[in-house]
Amino acid sequence: RVPMGPLSLLLALSLLSPRGSAGWSCPPRCVCASNLLSCSQANLSVVPAPLPRFTAVLDLSHNNVTRLRADWAPARLPHLHALLLSHNRLAFVSTEAFTHVPRLRHLDLSSNRLRTLDENLFSDLGELEVLLLYNNEITTVDRTAFENLGRLRKLYLGQNRIARFPLELLREGSRLPQLALLDLSANRLRAVPAGELQALPAWLRDRLYLHNNPLACDCLLFQLLDRGYRRHLSAVVDFQDELHCFLPGAPAAPVKILALADKQPLNCSKAREAVLEAHLGDSVTLGCDSRWQGVRSRHWVTPGGERVLGDGGNGSVVLLANGSLQLRALRPEDAGTYACWVAGPLLNETLYVELLVHNFTLHGPHDTLNTAYTTLVGCILSVVLVLIYLYLTPCRCCCCRGSEKPPAPRDDSINSSVLSTTPNHAGGTGEPCGSHIASSAGTGQNGRFKGGGTPSMPARQGPKAQRKVSDPDSVSSVFSDTPIVV
C-alpha cells in the first residue's frame, strides 16, 4: 500500500470538483466563483460554450452579442436564476431562447437595440420576477409577449419608443397578476387611459412611472396625478418636475401637469378624495385602497370613533377579507368620514372615505321635503298661527281708553284674565280694559250675577262661537272660555 502525498490528494480533489472535471471548466475570458459566472467586458460576440451546469448567475454584460439564438444554451441550466445581457448590441432574441432556463427570475436586456417584443417571447419564463428592457428601441409590444408571466413583479420599459399604452398589462386578471412596478417613462406616449388607471389598486399606481412623455394635457390626467400627489405616491412625488404635458393649441413649451389647476384653457378642478354617495336602506362597500402590498393588519374607525375589527354588533357593519368595510341597511347616522388604518411592511398609512347618505330611499317614493325641512316649516306655521290668533283677535282696548270707569270690586279680581298679572288697585290707570265691568258692582264677571262669588258653569251647546267686538266675554283668557272656579 503506497501512502498518498499532498500532491496526489490535491489532484484527486480537483478531479472530483465540477470545475476541475472535463467539460465543466470555466469558459475562456470568464471568471468563475462558485456558482457565479462573469464574462463581462470580455469582447464576446457569442455566448461562450459550454456553460457549467451548476451556473446560477451568468453575467454577459458589456459585450458585442447581437443575436440570442435558441441554441445559446444547448443543455438545460436548471440552477440559472439571473441572466445579465445589458449593454450589448442585441437586435434579435429568439422565441425559444429561454427554453432551457425555466428557473430564471432576473433577466436584464437593457441598453440594447431591440425594436419589437414578439409573440410569446417570454412565455417560457414562468418564474420570472424582474424584467429589464429599458434603453432599447422598442416601438411595438405584442399582446402576448408577456404571456404566462404569472410571477412578474417589476417590468422596466422606460427610454424606448412606445407610443401606445399597454393597458392589457395592468387590467385585473390579466397576464401579469402580481405586477407591482411598471416603468413607461421617457417614451412617446401622448395619451394614457386616466379613467382606467384610476381604478387600479393604489399599490400599483404607486409604481406606475409616466414622466418624460409628450402627454397631451387633460383634466382626467391632472386629477389622476393630483390624487397621487396628495396620497404621496412615489411615482408622482419623486418625479413631479418631470411630469409635463402639452396644452392644445399652445406653443411647444410643455407645462407641469400638477400646475393645471384653474389654469386656462382647461381650467381643471381638483378632484375630491374618496367621496361615496348612497341612500337610506342601501348597502355600500368602502374600499381601503392602500398602496402597500403584503399588509399585515388593518382596521376601520367609524365617524363615531368606534373601531371595527370584525362583524358589527348588529350585523350591519362587516369587515371583508380584502380589507373593505361593508355597511348594510344605511341609516342617516351612518354618514360621515370613515378612516382605514393600514399597517404596511415598511410604514403605516391612513385612508379616509367620506360617506354621504341621502335622507330618502332610492327606489321608494321621493318626498319633496325631508324631515328637517318638514319640521322647520311646521314650526314656522305654528308661530304664524299663534301670532294671528293673538294680534288679529278683536279687542275692546280702543273703546276703553276714552272712558274712565270705576275699577271692578276686589272680589272679582280672581275672575280676571289669566293673561294679566297686574292687581286691581283703586284709582289705578294701568289696568287692562277687560278688567272693567259694564254693569253694577253686584254683578260678576261678564255681567252675569254670581251668587256667593261662585261663577256658574255655562252649558255647552254646540261649537264655540267666535268673539265679537261687543262681546263682554273678551275679558276671559284668550286660551280658555271656561271661567275660573274658586
* pLDDT at res. 286: 87
User: Is position 382 within any domain?
Assistant: no
Instruction: For residue 308, name the pLDDT band (cuts at 50, 70, 90).
Output: confident
Residue of higher predicted confidence among 483 and 71: 71
Q: Is the pLDDT score of 95 beyond 70?
A: yes
Among 448, 412, 447, 405, residue whose Cα is nearest residue 427: 405
Mean pLDDT value of segment 126-142:
95
pLDDT category at 156 given cuts 50, 70, 90 is very high
Beta-ladder partners of 130: 106, 154
Strands 348-358 and 336-343: what pairing?
Answer: antiparallel
pLDDT in tens, 324-383: 888 888 888 888 888 887 887 766 777 778 888 887 665 554 444 456 677 888 899 899
pLDDT digits 0-9 by tens, 186-204: 999 999 988 888 878 777 8
The answer as to whether 280 is a domain residue is yes
And the C-alpha cell for 66?
Answer: 447581437
Name the more confident of 73 and 137.
137
CATH number, residue 329: 2.60.40.10
Return the HEC string of the chain: CCCCCHHHHHHHHHHHCCCCCCCCCCCCCCEEECCEEECCCCCCCCCCCCCCCCCCEEECCCCCCCEECCCCCCCCCCCCCEEECCCCCCCEECCCCCCCCCCCCEEECCCCCCCEECCCCCCCCCCCCEEECCCCCCCEECCCCCCCCCCCCEEECCCCCCCCCCHHHCCCCCCCCCCCEEECCCCCCCCCCHHHHHCCCHHHHCCEECCCCCEECCHHHHHHHHHHHHCCCHHHHCCHHHCEEECCCCCCCCEEHHHCECCCCCCECCCCCCEEEEECCCCEEECCCCCCCCCCEEEEECCCCCEECCCCCCCCEEECCCCCEEECCCCHHHCEEEEEEEECCCCEEEEEEEEEEECCCCCCCCCCCCHHHHHHHHHHHHHHHHHHHHHCCCCCHHHHCCCCCCCCCHHHHHHCCCCCCCCCCCCCCCCCHHHCCCCCCCCCHHHCCCHHHCCCCCCCCCCCCCCCCCCHHHHCCCCCCCCCCC
Lowest mean pLDDT among 12-21, 256-265, 384-393, 454-463: 12-21
Domain membership of residue 338 (yes or no) is yes
Q: What is the mean pLDDT of residues 303-312?
A: 72
Query: Do 175 and 149 contact (CB within 8 A), yes or no?
Result: yes
What is the per-residue pLDDT for 31? 92
Give residue 353's domain range: 276-358
215-226 pLDDT, tens digit per residue, is 999 888 998 898
Q: Are 196 and 205 in contact (CB under 8 A)?
A: no
Give the mean pLDDT of the chain: 76
Least confident of 14-23, 43-52, 98-107, 157-166: 14-23
Mean pLDDT, residues 225-242? 90
Alpha-carbon 300 to chain mean position: 14
Distance (Å, whole) CA 31 – CA 73: 18
Instruction: Tell me whether residue 301 is in a domain.
Output: yes
Q: Is residue 304 part of a domain?
A: yes
Mean pLDDT of 269-281: 78
Mean pLDDT of 104-126: 94
Q: Convert the pLDDT of each residue in 381-438 to its tens digit.
A: 899 888 888 887 665 555 555 444 555 444 444 444 444 444 444 444 444 444 443 3
What pLDDT does residue 455 have? 46
**What is the share, in percent, of the chain residues with pLDDT greater than 70?**
70
User: Is 326 contained in some domain?
Assistant: yes
Q: Does the pLDDT of residue 278 top 60, yes or no?
A: yes
Number of domains making up the chain? 1
Q: Count Cα neighbours of 52 within 13 Å in the Cβ-side half-sphere.
A: 26
Q: Say how far apart CA 160 and CA 133 lie, in whole Å.
A: 9
pLDDT of amino acid 434: 42
Does 297 map to a domain? yes
Mean per-residue pLDDT, 286-296: 77
Q: Is residue 305 part of a domain?
A: yes
Q: What pLDDT, on a 0 to 100 scale, did the predictor assign at position 295?
A: 77
Q: Residue 453 pLDDT more than 80?
A: no
Q: What is the pLDDT, as a whole number, of residue 50?
A: 86
pLDDT beyond 70 at 243: yes
Closest CA to 84 of 53, 113, 121, 57: 57
